[in-house]
Amino acid sequence: MEPAAVDSPVPGGGRDNEDDAPDPPQPPPPPQQQQQQQQKPSRYESQKRRDWNTFLQFLSNHYKPALPLALCGGPHVVEFLKYLDQFGKTKVHVAGCSHFGLPRPPGPCGCPTRQAWGSLDALIGRLRAAYDENASPTAGGPNPFGARAVKAHLREVRESQAKARGVAYDKKKRKRRHQLLLPPSGEGSSSAATSAATAVTVAVAGSSTAAAAAAAAATDQGGSLGIRDPGHADETGNLTSDS
Give the whole-angstrom CA distance, residue 47 versus residue 40.
13
Residue 180 neighbours by CB distance under 10 Å: 7
Where do the structural domains in the chain lie, given as residue ranges?
A: 41-170
> Is the pTM of the predicted complex or chain greater than 0.95?
no
Q: Please, where are the H alpha helices in the chain?
A: 15-19, 31-38, 43-62, 74-83, 117-134, 148-165, 177-180, 185-220
Judge whether residue 136 has pLDDT over 80. Answer: no
CA atoms within 13 A on the CB side of 5: 3
- The verdict on whether omega for the bond into residue 11 sits within 30 degrees of 0, i.e. cis, is no
Q: Tens digits of per-residue pLDDT, 183-205?
A: 555 544 455 555 555 554 545 45
Query: Higher pLDDT residue, 53 or 234?
Result: 53
